[in-house]
C-alpha cells in the first residue's frame, strides 16, 4: 500500500507541468480559470498544441497515435492540465468515437477517421439522445432504412453538445424496428453534417448560453460504409463508448481548481468584519467539500489501480460520476453563496474575455451565478445520476 506515485510518474508530472507552463496559452487558461466563454478557436488551438506534442489521445494505442501512457500517467495528465486551467479536450472525437473505431471500426474507417480526429480536420458531435429517449436511451426512434448502398435517415437528435461547431456526427439509429428487444435493431453510423437534409437548431440553456442543439434529419442519405461494425449491433458499441473512458470521469483536477478559486473568493469576501473563509459556517461548508474531494482523489486512484489490474469497475465508475459531479456542483454552489448580493447582477457581455467594461462588484463575480445554473447539467447529462445509482444498486445487489 503506497499512495505515492513512482519516481518515473513524478518525472512525468514535471514534464507535463513544464509543457503546460510553456505551451498552454495564458489567455485561454485565464478564461477557463475565470469561467469566461471559450471560442471554437481557443479549443482548436489547444487541440493542435496537444496533438503536436503527441499528447492529445492519452488512452489510444501507440499504433494509432497514442502516447502509450499507463493509467497513472493518464490520471496525472488529466489532473495537471485541469489544475493549470487548460480547457477540457473536446471528448467526442478523441475520447468517444476514437476508442469505438479502434475496437470496432473497419481498417478503412480507422485509416481515414483517426488521423482526422488527431489533426483537427473533423470535429465530431454525438447523436445519441432523442426527445423521447433520454435516460431510456435504447428507446430511440431515428430510423435508417437501407436503400441500395445508402441508409436513409429520418428523425431527430437532441442535447447535441457543440454540434454547431461540428462537421460530423456519430449516430445511433434504428435499422430494425421489428427487433424483439429495443436494444436490438440499433446501428452505429457516421454522418457528414453537411449532408442534405440535416438541420441544426440551437437550444438555449437556462443561463442564456448556446451550447447544445437539436439536429433534424430528413431523408439524409449516408453511404453504407459509414456504418461502424455490424448492422443492428450498435448498442454494443454505444455501451462500450459510454463505459470506456473513465479515467477522468470524477473530474478531480477541475474540482481542485474550482476549490482554489472558491477559496480565493472566500478570502476576499467579507462577512461580520472578517473574510468569509473565516466564518465558521462557511468554513465548515468549504471544509466538508474539501475533505470529500481529498477522499475522492484516493477513491479515484483506487478505482484506476483496480482497472489497471484488469478489473471491470462499472459500479465504481458510476460512483466516480455521481460524487465527482456532486462535488463540482457543491463547489459552484458555494462560489455562488460566497458572492452574496453580487450573485444577482448579470452582464452577459462580461463573460467575453475581451469585454472591458468595469465589473459589477468584485471582478470575479460576473460568471458565477450562470455557472452554477449551467452546472446543474452535470447530474443530468452523460447518464443521469439516477441512472448511475441504479447501475450501482443493480451491480451490487445482483437483482
Task: Based on the shown chain and the rule CB under 8 A, indicate whether residue 369 belongs to the binding site for another protein.
Answer: yes
Site map (CB under 8 A) of its own copies, residues 284-323, x = contact = x---------------------------------------
Residues of this chain, 133-152, that bind another protein according to CB under 8 A: 134-136, 139
How many whole angstroms separate alpha carbon 90 and alpha carbon 86? 12
| Residue 139 binding target from its own copies, another protein, none, CB below 5 to 8 Å by type | another protein
Q: Enter the C-alpha cell of residue 285.
A: 461548508
Task: Say if residue 174 is exposed, middle or buried (CB neighbours under 10 Å; 0-12, 13-18, 19+).
Answer: buried
Q: Enter the C-alpha cell of residue 198.
A: 440535416
User: In whole angstroms, how close is the CB of 281 to its own copies at the nearest point?
Assistant: 6
Taking CB under 8 A as the binding criterion, the range among 48-56, 69-77, 197-205, 280-288 that sits at the site for its own copies is 280-288
How many whole angstroms separate alpha carbon 245 and alpha carbon 384? 17
Q: For Cα atoms 177, 182, 183, give the angle at the middle one, nearest 5 degrees.
A: 115
Taking CB under 8 A as the binding criterion, the range among 28-36, 54-62, 116-124, 373-381 that sits at the site for another protein is 373-381
**Per-residue b/e over 30-45, b at no fewer than 16 CB within 10 Å?**
ebbbbbbeeeeebbeb
Q: Considering the complex, state which of residue 1 and residue 281 has its C-beta at the smaller distance from its own copies.
A: 281
Residues of this chain, 285-314, that bind another protein according to CB under 8 A: 285, 287-288, 290-292, 294-299, 301-302, 305-306
The 8-class DSSP code of residue 119 comes to: T
- Could you say which of 63, 148, 180, 281 contacts its own copies (CB under 8 A)? 281
Q: Enter the C-alpha cell of residue 302.
A: 483506487
Task: Based on the shown chain and the rule CB under 8 A, indicate whether residue 183 belongs to the binding site for another protein.
Answer: no
Task: Based on the shown chain and the rule CB under 8 A, indicate whether residue 280 belongs to the binding site for its own copies.
Answer: yes
Taking CB under 8 A as the binding criterion, the range among 14-22, 104-112, 185-193, 333-341 that sits at the site for another protein is 333-341
Q: Considering the complex, state which of residue 95 and residue 213 has its C-beta at the smaller distance from another protein.
A: 213
Those residues whose C-beta lies under 8 Å from the C-beta of residue 230, and which sit 6 or more positions away, are none
Taking CB under 8 A as the binding criterion, the range among 14-22, 138-146, 219-227, 276-284 that sits at the site for its own copies is 276-284
Place of cell 485561454: 28
Those residues whose C-beta lies under 8 Å from the C-beta of residue 237, and which sit 6 or more positions away, are 100, 103, 104, 188, 228, 229
User: In whole angstroms, how close is the CB of 283 to its own copies at the nearest point?
Assistant: 10
| Residue 109 binding target from its own copies, another protein, none, CB below 5 to 8 Å by type | none
Amino acid at each position: 500500500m503506497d499512495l505515492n506515485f513512482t519516481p518515473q510518474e513524478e518525472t512525468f508530472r514535471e514534464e507535463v507541468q513544464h509543457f503546460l507552463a510553456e505551451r498552454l496559452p495564458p489567455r485561454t487558461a485565464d478564461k477557463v480559470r475565470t469561467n469566461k466563454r471559450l471560442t471554437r478557436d481557443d479549443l482548436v488551438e489547444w487541440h493542435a498544441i496537444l496533438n503536436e506534442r503527441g499528447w492529445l489521445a492519452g488512452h489510444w494505442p501507440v499504433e494509432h497515435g497514442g502516447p502509450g501512457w499507463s493509467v497513472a500517467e493518464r490520471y496525472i495528465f488529466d489532473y495537471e492540465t485541469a489544475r493549470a486551467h487548460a480547457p477540457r479536450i473536446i471528448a467526442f472525437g478523441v475520447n468517444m468515437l476514437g476508442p469505438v473505431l479502434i475496437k470496432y471500426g473497419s481498417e478503412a474507417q480507422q485509416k481515414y477517421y483517426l488521423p482526422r480526429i488527431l489533426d483537427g480536420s473533423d470535429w465530431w458531435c454525438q447523436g445519441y439522445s432523442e426527445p423521447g429517449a433520454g435516460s431510456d436511451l435504447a428507446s430511440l426512434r431515428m430510423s435508417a432504412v437501407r436503400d441500395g448502398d445508402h441508409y436513409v435517415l429520418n428523425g431527430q437528435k437532441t442535447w447535441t453538445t457543440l454540434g454547431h461547431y461540428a462537421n460530423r456526427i456519430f449516430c445511433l439509429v434504428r435499422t430494425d424496428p421489428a427487433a424483439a428487444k429495443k436494444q436490438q435493431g440499433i446501428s452505429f453510423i457516421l454522418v457528414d453534417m453537411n449532408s442534405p437534409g440535416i438541420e441544426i437548431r440551437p437550444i438555449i440553456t437556462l443561463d442564456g448560453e448556446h451550447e447544445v442543439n437539436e439536429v433534424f434529419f430528413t431523408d439524409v442519405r449516408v453511404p453504407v460504409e459509414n456504418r461502424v461494425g455490424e448492422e443492428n449491433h450498435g448498442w454494443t458499441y454505444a455501451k462500450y463508448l459510454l463505459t470506456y473512458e473513465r479515467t477522468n470521469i470524477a473530474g478531480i483536477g477541475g474540482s481542485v481548481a474550482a476549490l482554489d478559486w472558491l477559496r480565493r473568493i472566500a478570502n476576499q469576501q467579507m462577512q461580520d468584519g472578517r473574510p468569509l473563509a473565516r466564518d465558521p459556517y462557511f468554513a465548515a461548508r468549504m471544509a466538508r467539500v474539501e475533505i470529500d474531494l481529498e477522499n475522492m482523489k484516493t477513491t479515484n486512484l483506487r478505482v484506476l489501480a483496480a482497472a489497471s489490474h484488469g478489473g471491470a469497475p462499472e459500479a465504481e465508475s458510476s460512483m466516480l460520476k455521481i460524487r465527482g459531479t456532486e462535488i463540482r456542483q457543491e463547489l459552484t454552489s458555494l462560489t455562488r453563496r460566497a458572492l452574496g448580493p453580487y450573485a444577482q447582477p448579470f452582464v452577459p457581455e462580461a463573460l467575453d474575455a475581451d469585454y472591458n467594461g468595469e465589473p459589477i462588484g468584485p471582478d470575479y463575480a460576473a460568471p458565477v451565478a450562470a455557472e452554477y445554473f449551467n452546472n446543474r447539467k452535470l447530474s443530468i447529462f452523460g447518464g443521469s445520476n439516477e441512472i448511475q445509482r441504479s447501475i450501482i444498486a443493480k451491480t451490487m445487489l445482483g437483482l
